[in-house]
A and B are shown apart, each in its own frame.
Chain A
């Protein structure tokens, strides 16, 4: 719509009223301001949305706030009705909490919409005061498809993330501040209560819990470092080995070495579990054939840890190898030629050119791999299941990482509050690590400079 510079004939103080009137009308009833601005379709859309919102929220909001606040007041109990005993349903704290969070989230979305509606009415009113025509529905639609295009594209994934990622995380975080755990606070038989930071202080202060927590944490950190370093430098080594001058059939070697990565992890890990079987597994069979004792691969705490690292190398080195091979091809040839002119030895060339280049290009990946190993559920769970057991630990074994411990706390032992607290701690460690890494990486600082 072309803007025309026609002198405005309306009086100044009448002008101011458009935006105020529209905004106030929109405060009173969502969409009314748009109708006042003669944006009929938009106004009706807003009105309908408000209707849906109110119809959804009015019967639920009160209950939701009550539910989240109290987590229920009555347990289920037996009541005598006409001489026979009947089980009367009580409040289910967890359903109350989750439903409450859902309703509050919906409320939040509508609140945003409501604010948007007021702002929109105000701005359109202002446009009218300046003598410009308010845009019509078709123009709005075109505007939506043009300028608001990214929002349109993002809205579908955003909805999925809201319901299946954000909300569950919110819910789980809140659990850490309740006493939702077996045996005393499992609904529907019992109620759950808010306990504040008690779960966290228990985790640090109670001897039985803190011993397990720090023990598992220490092993998790050691594991994450070892797993990352072994696979990374293993990958560098293999890649350099293949790329050496004079090695033939480079492609064949590469294809063979990539094989462990290509096999689905669940298969290779279950396979390894059999391979390292202390009694019947082929590894011990061969060792015995050479007159050796054979090792308690999966049953001894120390050897179980060694096995986990070894198996992880088998799975992880191919990934690093592929990555490093890619990086190697990007090193400018003339660097090497210059070095050769200066009479550098093979090792010097590696130390001065190759290694710094690889390190520079792959540090972000290295750090992400560390974070991934910190949470490497599959390797531990499928290979050792955290075993061998430890008597002095609370529900954890010698090879359990924080994540697998979390899993056991949740699904096997119903210690939901403790599991949530552990989850929050894992998150804090990983998140601080990764955000620091992300912020210093190129992609965040200069992403527009690539082109």
Chain B
């Protein structure tokens, strides 16, 4: 068999790849360069600014009508705790559902699937009233509580992963006298590190980026998260304060983007294991 490398085909392919790369990168580059451009306007004739400035980044933290620093800390806090609690809940629940055969298991699985299909803010008014009654409105605890208790519904990928860990492993440990808890902590958990990373990552970014619910619950400006604050900025000032928005966007996007690029392979794993098992 001889290897044919059609030069024509390769040229076209490379051209396409370059075009797609430009389309992928352009908006990112544009927002980054805009954040370094003097002035505040959205309009600019060229992509590459004539002069560079870091003033907009400073302005983010000094502008009194804009509490970027506070929002950043708020978001970090909420996302961190959501990550911890969600990962815990998802692993516990899905481990039980994957490893044990007990009465009502199929019902639970189907119920979870159905519950996950309700438009999430269909329940928002009710949650709003509940939070109002238990006096948690406008608190970060409320967000953490609601995010983490909903997390289990999205945990089917984790179940799929647990399903693939050979059961003979824990059966052997059981025969040696290990308790369920011990099997879980010293066999299953270490084996599922990639999956746990994936879950932690998605729940962190989920809470980091959520906008709808955060906007409903957080009523005062000091308690806002970044998403709510940035949305407010775009909605209220549209194109008059664009460069500051750009700087804010860069600061939000950089950590998450780096995390994602760094953890790509877990992502691939998560997506593919979700694919073959629904």
Q: Which of A25-33, A130-138, A210-218, A272-280 contacts B (4 or more CB under 8 A)?
A: A272-280
Residue of B148, B179, B256, B278 with highest tally of chain A CB at under 10 A = B278
Q: Is B149 within 8 A of A172, CB to CB?
A: no
A238 within 8 A of partner (CB): yes
Which residues of A, 234-267, contact B by the 8 Å Cβ criterion? 238, 241-242, 244-247, 253, 255-267
**Is A12 interfacial (CB 8 A cutoff)?**
no
Contact of A451 with B166 in the complex, beta carbons under 8 Å = yes
A271-B29 Cα distance, complex, nearest whole Å: 11
- A164 and B100 contacting across the interface, CB-CB below 8 Å: no
For A367, give the chain B residue with the smallest CB separation.
Answer: B278
A282 touches B149 (CB 8 A): no
Interface-located stretch among A82-90, A119-127, A437-445: A437-445
Q: Say yes or no for B73: interface residue by CB 8 A criterion.
A: no
B17 at the interface (CB under 8 A from A): yes
Asked whether, in the complex, the Cβ of A314 is within 8 Å of the Cβ of B23, the reply is: yes
Instruction: Tell whether A406 pairs with B252 under 8 Å between CB atoms, given A163-B130, A361-B276.
Output: no
B113 within 8 A of A: yes
A424 to chain B: closest CB distance in Å? Answer: 8
- Does B38 sit within 8 A of A, measured CB to CB? no
Chain B residues contacting A183 (CB-CB under 8 Å) are none
| Residue B125 lies at the interface, judged by CB distance under 8 Å to chain A | yes
Complex: chain B residue closest to A101, CB-CB: B126
Contact A451:B167 (CB < 8 A) given known A168-B123, A247-B13: yes
Given the interface pairs A161-B153, A443-B160, the reply to whether A168 lies near B127 with Cβ below 8 Å is yes
Contact between A264 and B209 (Cβ–Cβ < 8 Å)? yes
Q: Which of B24, B90, B117, B271 contacts A319 (CB 8 A)?
A: B271
| Interchain CB contact (< 8 A) of B268 among A149, A242, A325, A420 | A325
The chain B residue sitting closest to A252, CB to CB, is B21
The answer on a CB contact under 8 Å between B96 and A444 is no
Residue-by-residue, is A150-184 near B (CB-CB < 8 Å gives 1, otherwise 0)?
Answer: 11011011111101111111011001000000000
Q: Mark B252-278, 1 if CB is under 8 A from A, else 0.
A: 110011001100100111011011111
Convert A374-413 into 0s and 1s, putting 1 for each residue whose CB lies closer than 8 angstroms to a CB of B: 0101100110000000000000000000010011001100
In the complex, B121 has a CB within 8 A of chain A? yes
Taking a contact as CB atoms under 8 Å apart, the answer to whether B275 and A323 are in contact is: yes
Given A150-B102, A280-B41, verify A156-B231 contact (CB < 8 Å).
Answer: no
Interface centre among A165, A281, A434, A442 (most CB of B within 10 A): A165
A158, B242: Cα distance in complex, Å: 45
B215 nearest CB across to chain A (Å): 9
Known: A156-B89, A258-B264, A267-B252. A340 touches B1 (CB 8 A): yes
The yes or no answer to B39 lying at the interface (CB within 8 A) is no
Stretch at the interface among B42-50, B51-59, B62-70: B42-50
Q: A365 to B209, Cβ gap below 8 A?
A: no
Contact B115 A275 (CB under 8 A): no
Q: Is B145's CB within 8 Å of the partner chain A?
A: yes
Do residues B126 and A161 form an inter-chain contact, with CB atoms below 8 A? no
**Chain A interface, number of residues (Cβ within 8 angstroms):** 107
**Given the complex, which residues of B lie within 8 Å of A100, measured CB to CB?**
none
A274 touches B239 (CB 8 A): yes
Of A259, A262, A362, chain B has the most CB atoms within 10 Å of the CB of A262
- Asked if A416 is an interface residue, CB under 8 A from chain B, the answer is yes
Query: Quick check: is A326 within 8 A (CB to CB) of the other chain?
Result: yes
- Chain B residues with a Cβ closer than 8 Å to the other chain, count: 102
| Contact of A365 with B149 in the complex, beta carbons under 8 Å | no
A403 CA to B156 CA, complexed, in Å: 24
* A256 engages B25 (CB within 8 Å): yes
**Is B141 an interface residue, CB under 8 A from the partner?**
no
A221 contacts B by Cβ under 8 Å: no
Contact A362 B275 (CB under 8 A): yes
Given the complex, which residues of A lie within 8 Å of B230, measured CB to CB?
Answer: 266-267, 270
Q: Indicate whether A427 sits within 8 Å of B122 (C-beta atoms), given known contacts A153-B92, A280-B239.
A: yes
Asked if residues A255 and B264 are in contact (CB atoms below 8 Å), the reply is yes
Assuming A145-B180, A431-B114, is B261 touching A262 (CB within 8 A)? yes
Q: Are A169 and B208 in contact (CB under 8 A)?
A: no
CA of A257 to CA of B24, assembled, Å:
6
Q: Of all chain A residues, which has the CB nearest B258?
A: A262
15 more A-B residue pairs beyond the given contacts A151-B102, A263-B28, with a C-beta to C-beta distance below 8 A:
A153-B93, A153-B96, A165-B153, A167-B130, A241-B20, A244-B13, A247-B13, A257-B20, A259-B25, A264-B252, A285-B43, A378-B211, A406-B121, A416-B125, A437-B278
Interface pairs (5), CB distance under 8 Å: A149-B180, A255-B264, A277-B42, A364-B278, A406-B119
> Which 7 A/B pairs are nearest by Cβ-Cβ distance?
A160-B149, A168-B123, A168-B126, A326-B272, A262-B260, A441-B278, A280-B43
